[in-house]
Amino acid sequence: MPVESNARPGLGEPVESLPGIGPKRAELLAALGIRTVFDLLFYFPRDYQDRRAITPISELREGETATIQAEFVKARSIRLRGRNSLAEATLRDGSGEIKATWFGRGFLAKTFTPGTRGLFTGPVGKYGGPALKNPDYELLSGDEEDRLHTGRIVPIYRLTEGVSQRMLRRWVHTALERAFSESRGIATTGENSPPDSPAAEETPLDETLPAALRLRYGYPEINGAIRCAHFPEEVERAYQARDRFAYEELLGMQLGVLRARAARYHEATGLRHVTGGPVLKTFRKSLPFRLTSAQELAVSDVMSDLASARPMMRMLQGDVGCGKTIVALHAVAACGDSGYQTALMAPTEILAEQHYLGLREILLPLGIEVELLTAATTNAAARKRVHTGSCAVVVGTHALFQEKTEFHKLGLVIIDEQHRFGVLQRSALVEKGANPDVLHMTATPIPRTLAITLYGGMDITVIDELPPGRLPVITRWIPPAKQEGLYQYLCQQAERGLQTYFVCPLIEESDSRELTALTAHYAALSAGPLASLRTAMLHGRLPNEEKAQIMHRFKTGEIDVLFSTSVIEVGMDVPSATTMVIEDAAQFGLTQLHQLRGRVGRGTEQSYCFLLEKPKTPEGKRRIEILCNTCNGFEIAEEDLKLRGPGEFQGIRQAGLSDLRVADLLRDVRLLDHARRDAEEILRKDPDLSGNEYGTLARHARTFAALNP
């Protein structure tokens, strides 16, 4: 988030206005997002190092970690076996000498000029005698400036090539000096300043966090906080300062999200649907199973949304196979009772087709016509039926929001696997109705921290329960030596009428990637170990008719093993399919693997997921491990987030969350909770954020609101 400058003149100037920064360095800093003096002040350290205690070399003890201040006596690079090398240096201070070694970094030796002084922090190990092992080090210049880097707690920043800790520390320090000296004499009140706040004349930054909130959490006032965050007297205080800014950022974001939502609710008058009509009643009676209590709760959430004039904006979140579709069907039925059309949008043709077939089976007997609109099936006649309203339910893919598609009376929009659509695509469909109710569904559970941010503007319903009788899918990694056994197992399963999905990462062989190709594998296995079975192949490039036919044959049990690419990731719902085999499993992302696995375990038979091919990277290995250990989608999402970092998570960039400067969505769960609660409280009292104390927060809120339409 661009932190807007609330600073006095001078701080908004480019970094080049500081001594020692020319155009080249300014460019390097820009890569870190630092353009102005103000940015520099708000570039927070990622860590701190306590350099108050310097240990004389003569007092170093093996096994402890210490900081010494010493000069190089000599240094050399030593070649080791293989391509490795070692830098070895002798260091000296007034009390004695010690060796230091840097394994694998022989190239450093030539930068260690005898006589140069430096600070070295690291564990004391053995190398001949006692020696510092791979110490962090920083060279000193021997002048006044060294006082910035020694004998205190020093900040450690995230760096970029060409910018060292020392430089950044100096520049931040200069920026602080400029800020705090140039403002001298500007008198402001030190209301509620904690005792450690700077003198009243040193307040170059206007407070941006209301006093009541600072008091609530004991956060320092902004001017004290900014200095403390860089050059603290105690590390504790630095963290407190950092938390203050992280919290403030998250608060601005939550205010934005909540205000955008309030604005929408305020403006839009939606439809009041009938929720006790004959179609819904008949539908409920015809249900082939009892809903789980989580489903019942979800249905009642959805029904109260439909009945109210406020347009529904609900996210229905639940792991693969938890039964979201049936919940959505309640809404479809109610919408039918009210005489409105429903559009159900899915990201793939296969999924759309499955929904279409499923819905038709249930809705036709209730007298509700269903139409399918996909790139393949769409024609003028179908579009006309949608436009004239002769069908009440339209299932489709991206074709639904194209300009040519017009609805008669669109009253309900359901978006399945909503994360696969962009914000604009979703709203293009919604805008085809007059404030229709909207239900989003996703089987990619995301950690709560992200949910309240990403879906902050929606109401969230979580289905946290699977239909009864489901057994968790047992997941195993199968080493190459055991693959023959796996093929035998598939044959035995087929004899019992149980089916298998066999997923490969590619359709055809590729020169660039050594991966198992579907076509070749299908041919080889169908003619080899699986020759006695009925097999078929499915992928995105087949003509639609053929795809539909194959899926139909798999559903009706005419195919034992279906070879496929990841196109079956969503949409296949065949309870008698109990085995999922994934070739080159480490090629797939964690959530994708989880989705694929979700194709089995839909009936009451014990299902299995077998992952083939040894993972080649540590990350791939970790993914396989996680998958073998848990079937819980939320846990998997959490792990995925840790592996990939929030920036890679779908929707994060879009929502401007990767621009967070201080807050860390993984670490700051507690702060985010506080921010959410406080944002709600603030808006209850001051819905327009018109109070003076909210000036900066209100600006931040607007930035986020704009990113989350």
Nearer to ligand ADP, 220 or 347 (CB): 347
Question: To 5 degrees, how large is the angle CA 195–CA 198–CA 200?
Answer: 100
Nearer to ligand ADP, 325 or 499 (CB): 325
Nearer to ligand ADP, 330 or 700 (CB): 330
| Helix, strand counts (H, E) of the chain | 21, 21
| Distance, CA of 407 to CA of 386 (rounded, Å) | 6
User: Nearest distance from residue 257's CB to ligand ADP, in Å?
Assistant: 26
Closest CA to 209 of 242, 179, 238, 249: 249
**Binds ligand ADP (CB under 6 A): choice among 3, 179, 306, 326:** 326
Report the largest interatomic distance among the alpha carbons of the chain, rounded to a whole angstrom: 94
Query: What is the Cβ-side half-sphere exposure of residue 598, based on CA atoms within 13 angstroms?
Result: 25
| Distance, CA of 485 to CA of 491 (rounded, Å) | 10
Nearer to ligand ADP, 325 or 453 (CB): 325
Contact between 555 and ligand ADP (CB under 6 A)?
A: no
User: Nearest distance from residue 603's CB to ligand ADP, in Å?
Assistant: 8
User: Nearest distance from residue 367's CB to ligand ADP, in Å?
Assistant: 22
User: Nearest distance from residue 335's CB to ligand ADP, in Å?
Assistant: 18
Binding residue count for ligand ADP, defined by CB under 6 A: 17
**Binds ligand ADP (CB under 6 A): choice among 214, 242, 324, 555:** 324
User: Nearest distance from residue 590's CB to ligand ADP, in Å?
Assistant: 17
User: Nearest distance from residue 327's CB to ligand ADP, in Å?
Assistant: 8
User: Nearest distance from residue 466's CB to ligand ADP, in Å?
Assistant: 8
Q: Is 375 within 8 Å of 398 (Cβ atoms)?
A: yes
Helix, strand, coil percentages (3-state) for the chain, rounded to 5, are 40, 20, 40
User: Nearest distance from residue 415's CB to ligand ADP, in Å?
Assistant: 13
Residue with nearest beta carbon to ligand ADP: 323
3-state secondary structure of 657: helix
Q: State which of positions 283-322 bind ligand ADP (CB under 6 A).
A: 289-292, 295, 318, 320-322
Query: What is the Cβ-side half-sphere exposure of residue 610, based on CA atoms within 13 angstroms?
Result: 20
Contact between 443 and ligand ADP (CB under 6 A)?
A: yes
Q: What is the DSSP string of 336-404?
A: HHTT-EEEEE-SSHHHHHHHHHHHHHHHGGGT--EEEE-TTT--HHHHHHHHHTS-SEEEESGGGGSTT
Nearer to ligand ADP, 122 or 633 (CB): 633
Contact between 465 and ligand ADP (CB under 6 A)?
A: no
Query: What is the Cβ-side half-sphere exposure of residue 344, based on CA atoms within 13 angstroms?
Result: 32
Nearer to ligand ADP, 320 or 559 (CB): 320
Nearer to ligand ADP, 318 or 456 (CB): 318
Contact between 518 and ligand ADP (CB under 6 A)?
A: no
| Distance, CA of 368 to CA of 336 (rounded, Å) | 7
Q: State which of positions 530-549 bind ligand ADP (CB under 6 A).
A: none
**Binds ligand ADP (CB under 6 A): choice among 174, 325, 475, 499:** 325
Q: State which of positions 556-595 bind ligand ADP (CB under 6 A).
A: 573
Nearer to ligand ADP, 580 or 698 (CB): 580
Contact between 323 and ligand ADP (CB under 6 A)?
A: yes
Q: State which of positions 590-649 bind ligand ADP (CB under 6 A).
A: 602
Nearer to ligand ADP, 213 or 570 (CB): 570
Nearer to ligand ADP, 344 or 504 (CB): 344
| Distance, CA of 370 to CA of 348 (rounded, Å) | 18
Sheet holding 459-463, edge to edge: 370-373, 393-396, 341-345, 410-415, 437-442, 313-318, 459-463
Q: State which of positions 234-293 bind ligand ADP (CB under 6 A).
A: 289-292
Q: Is 401 within 8 Å of 343 (Cβ atoms)?
A: no
* 240, containing H or E segment: helix 235-267
| Distance, CA of 366 to CA of 336 (rounded, Å) | 10
User: Where does this chain bind ligand ADP (CB under 6 A)?
Assistant: 289-292, 295, 318, 320-326, 443, 467, 573, 602
